[in-house]
A and B are shown apart, each in its own frame.
Chain A
């Protein structure tokens, strides 16, 4: 996971134009100053985070950042699909040739973005963290597979190299290069799996949704007063 973070950061450092475009168009950072600031700083933060994970130092704090980051990503991706043009997301789902029933298609297209926001909010607030992480994994695995399948089909028919395939996968980040998207999804999956193991408990409102069972304490041994001991 650390290596993937470093890879993601460095790929943005070495392709600044591509990243700057996505900052302007997807993150909607309009001003030139804030946009260049985000473009310059964000990739290095990813690299630093990767290095931090490599050192193994303060893992709980790293897991807390992972939880917040994952939550923010899902809130952003969900809102990006749900608010400006939910119809556009519907069209993208249709392109995967998996769902043709209008009711099912609408259910996925209309509810899924808000469900992502819901999971993101839970992670951010630290409520039912493992459940939210599990839901994210359940969403991410099939989506990653269908995105991969579609990219393979595009690469096969167009004859371009796999990593040169670029399309809007409906992930909420616009048009992306498929290899980069797969790495990103792998990172998200690994982060969710990390949280699923019980990490990221710091600053949680309620890590477990259901009340944790009180640990069964061992019966304390009766304390015998010293006077009684002496009498014996």
Chain B
């Protein structure tokens, strides 16, 4: 019965519109799970041990090991106001899923849900090849989608790693800083106000 159930389960996944391929590595790079801290804490050895690393330090070390660069809010803001962004010389890539993207993203950001590259890779392929700087973001904090998306694009379409940045604070920090949030599709012209309500520009 267990074997039948397992076979049916794999078949259901294959038929499901949200099914994922079995053989794909969704967590590439050096993100060995054993190296990651417990959620919300910086030191799994407890308060007695003195070797506390900040989440930023851990994240930075992890990104460095993957050949990626960490971008803080000031750098990201600078890149957002960079005139090259108008000509897609600097691009932002939202590595979350479409529902979250539509609920609010950095204005002009491209959507790339790495779990469904067959749908979203065409969105970003040409701009990634021509852009000089690419900033990936997701929710920030414990979210690792941005770095996995960066690694996936780096490896699949051979983007030089010097171009790739990961925004550590993600959309959460962006929104907290009161920066503009675009709603719906890319360049929809609809923005959320500071209270999160929709407004047209």
Q: Is the CB of B9 within 8 A of A87?
A: no
Q: Is the CB of B47 within 8 A of A118?
A: no
Chain B: minimal CB distance from A131 (Å)? 4
Q: Is the CB of A82 within 8 A of B27?
A: no
Which of A83, A91, A115, A157 is within 8 Å of B5, CB to CB? A115
Chain A interface mostly: helix
In the assembled complex, the Cα of A82 lies from the Cα of B33 at a distance in Å of 22
Contact pattern, A 137-167, Cβ under 8 Å of B = 1, otherwise 0: 0000000000000100110111100000001
Decide if B197 is an interface residue (CB 8 Å cutoff). Answer: no
Q: A117-B12, A131-B1, A157-B46 are in contact. Are A84 and B6 (CB under 8 A)?
A: no
Chain B residues with Cβ under 8 A from A113's Cβ? 9
Q: A87-B97, A97-B33, A115-B6 are in contact. Are A159 and B47 (CB under 8 A)?
A: yes
Q: Is the CB of A114 within 8 A of B41?
A: no
Chain A residues with Cβ under 8 A from B32's Cβ? 100
Which of B1, B12, B26, B40 is within 8 Å of A87, CB to CB? B26
Q: Is the CB of B5 within 8 A of A95?
A: no
Q: Is the CB of B12 within 8 A of A82?
A: yes
In the assembled complex, the Cα of A111 lies from the Cα of B34 at a distance in Å of 24
Q: Choose among A115, A117, A132, A157 the residue with the greatest number of B CB atoms under 10 Å from its CB.
A: A157
In the assembled complex, the Cα of A4 lies from the Cα of B144 at a distance in Å of 38
Q: Is the CB of B34 within 8 A of A157?
A: no
In the assembled complex, the Cα of A84 lies from the Cα of B100 at a distance in Å of 12
Q: Is the CB of A107 within 8 A of B22?
A: yes
Chain B interface mostly: loop
Chain A residues with Cβ under 8 A from B22's Cβ? 103, 106-107, 110
In the assembled complex, the Cα of A167 lies from the Cα of B22 at a distance in Å of 27
Q: Is the CB of A111 within 8 A of B13?
A: yes
Q: A100-B32, A154-B41 are in contact. Are A86 and B20 (CB under 8 A)?
A: yes
Chain B: minimal CB distance from A139 (Å)? 10
Chain B residues with Cβ under 8 A from A98's Cβ? 33
Q: Is the CB of B18 within 8 A of A106?
A: no
Q: Is the CB of A111 within 8 A of B10?
A: yes
Decide if A85 is an interface residue (CB 8 Å cutoff). Answer: yes
Total A-B residue contacts, Cβ distance less than 8 Å = 107
Q: Is the CB of A100 within 8 A of B34?
A: yes
Task: Name the CB-closest residue of A to B21.
Answer: A106
Q: A86-B20, A87-B97, A102-B25 are in contact. Are A114 and B12 (CB under 8 A)?
A: yes
Q: A85-B97, A154-B41 are in contact. Are A97 and B34 (CB under 8 A)?
A: yes
Contact pattern, A 192-227, Cβ under 8 Å of B = 1, otherwise 0: 000000000000000001000000000000000000
Q: Is the CB of B9 within 8 A of A153?
A: no
Task: Name the CB-closest residue of A to B37.
Answer: A157
Interface residues of A in 107-129 (CB under 8 A from B): 107, 109-115, 117-119, 128
Decide if B60 is an interface residue (CB 8 Å cutoff). Answer: no
Chain B residues with Cβ under 8 A from A106's Cβ? 20-24, 26
Task: Name the CB-closest residue of B to A110.
Answer: B13
Chain A: minimal CB distance from B99 (Å)? 8
In the assembled complex, the Cα of A222 lies from the Cα of B145 at a distance in Å of 80
In the assembled complex, the Cα of A98 lies from the Cα of B34 at a distance in Å of 8
Q: Is the CB of B20 within 8 A of A90?
A: yes
Chain A residues close to B by CB (< 8 Å): 82-87, 90-91, 94-100, 102-103, 105-107, 109-115, 117-119, 128, 131-132, 135, 150, 153-154, 156-159, 167, 209
What are 6 sample pairs from A and B whose C-beta atoms fall under 8 A apart?
A83-B18, A110-B13, A135-B1, A154-B40, A154-B41, A157-B46
Chain B residues close to A by CB (< 8 Å): 1-2, 5-6, 8-10, 12-13, 16, 18-27, 32-34, 36, 38-41, 43-47, 97, 115, 144
